[in-house]
Amino acid sequence: MGIRQSALQRLRKNSISAKDIASQAWCEKQMELYISTPMPETVAMKKGSAFHETQKSEVFVPLSVPPVTWPDKFYKSAYENYTSLSSLVEKGTCRELKVYGSINGFKISGQVDELRIDAGKVVVVEDKTVGNIANITEARLRPDKIQASLYRKLISDIRKKSYTMANFSSAYSIDNMSLSKEFIQGLESIGIKKELQSPKAIYQKMFEAMLSIPEISENLELRYFNNKTGELLSNIKITYDETMLSAWLQKSMAYWSGEREAEPVQESENWKCRRCRFFGKECTAWSGKIGNVM
């Protein structure tokens, strides 16, 4: 028998997103099918992206130089992270912060919607858009709690130096990256110093900024906005539960390492299948038997 492939190998991914791990708590089979069966961006996705862009622009100005290559994009992400972290120090808030880490040897990344300083500590805030307040069910809350909790862990790991610039540099081969001439010219035109014109240099500054932020609060916030009006529908405060997160990550990583196959929802939650584009086609787990529980 050959060596079993990991889910990353099968799905041709080189890292796992925090959103992937959270989505496993809604339906692991659906999460896998979304990755393996790409679809055009929906109206809801476009609205969600526009919402987050608006949120980001309220806190800092994104880098205006257009990237040409992948290293250029990687640089742009770090530069905007560094700028956003400066906003946290100066204004008490930063948004759309890309974070990195490692779990069981797998590369993990995610984008935190907001960090806010409250009573001297940094609070992780996760924003979601929904149709109405009735959509904010316990089933919906579970993956959102996991996502916010994982963001807190990733930030905490960097602050505790459990995950360092050296770990990051090795995982992403930063030393081998070089920026395009066009991008460097663009950086020079807006006054970026020469010593900061490399991916390694800007990521080093980003990690230094992460190390200097205040202590991370045990409090987390989940904010739900109406996807049409942008109105805040609910602000739910939860407490970070390390035991819960560790247990979930153990279950989650068993899938990603290839120890087990993707699982469909349990029978008590098979009502979710009615909303799934894969139901009865790519996934037939609960065909012919759908519950009425909402």
- pTM equals 0.91
Q: Is 228 a residue whose pLDDT tops 60?
A: yes
Give 51's pLDDT tier (boundaries 50, 70, 90): low
Q: Is 122 a residue whose pLDDT tops 70?
A: yes
Q: Tens digits of per-residue pLDDT, 170-190?
A: 999 999 999 999 999 999 999
Q: Span 161-171, mean pLDDT?
A: 97
Average pLDDT of the residues of the chain: 91
Q: Is 59 a residue whose pLDDT tops 80?
A: no
pLDDT, residue 92, reads 94
Give 38's pLDDT tier (boundaries 50, 70, 90): confident
Sign, CA dihedral 220-94-216-28, equals positive
Instruction: Decide: 150 and 21 in contact? Cβ < 8 Å.
Output: yes
Q: Span 148-169, mean pLDDT?
A: 97
Axis crossing angle, helix 165-172 with helix 199-211, rounded to the nearest 10: 150
- Residue in 76, 75, 40 with CA at minimum distance from that of residue 60: 76
Distances (CA, A) of 105 to 22, 24, 228, 247: 18, 19, 40, 17
**Both structure tokens of 47:** 């609205």
Instruction: Decide: 102 and 167 in contact? Cβ < 8 Å.
Output: yes
pLDDT, residue 62, reads 80
Which of 39-48, 93-102, 203-212, 221-230 bottoms out in mean pLDDT, i.e. has the lowest? 39-48
Distances (CA, A) of 92 to 87, 114, 192: 7, 10, 25
Q: Tens digits of per-residue pLDDT, 266-285?
A: 999 999 998 899 999 999 99
Do the bridges between strand 121-130 and strand 216-226 make them parallel or antiparallel, or are there none, so unpaired?
A: parallel
Give 293's pLDDT tier (boundaries 50, 70, 90): very low
All structural domains of the chain, each given as residue ranges with its CATH number in brackets, are 7-263 (3.90.320), 268-294 (no CATH)
Q: Is 1 a residue whose pLDDT tops 50?
A: no
Q: Tens digits of per-residue pLDDT, 242-257?
A: 999 999 999 999 999 9
Which of 5-9, 52-56, 198-202, 211-215 bottoms out in mean pLDDT, i.e. has the lowest? 52-56
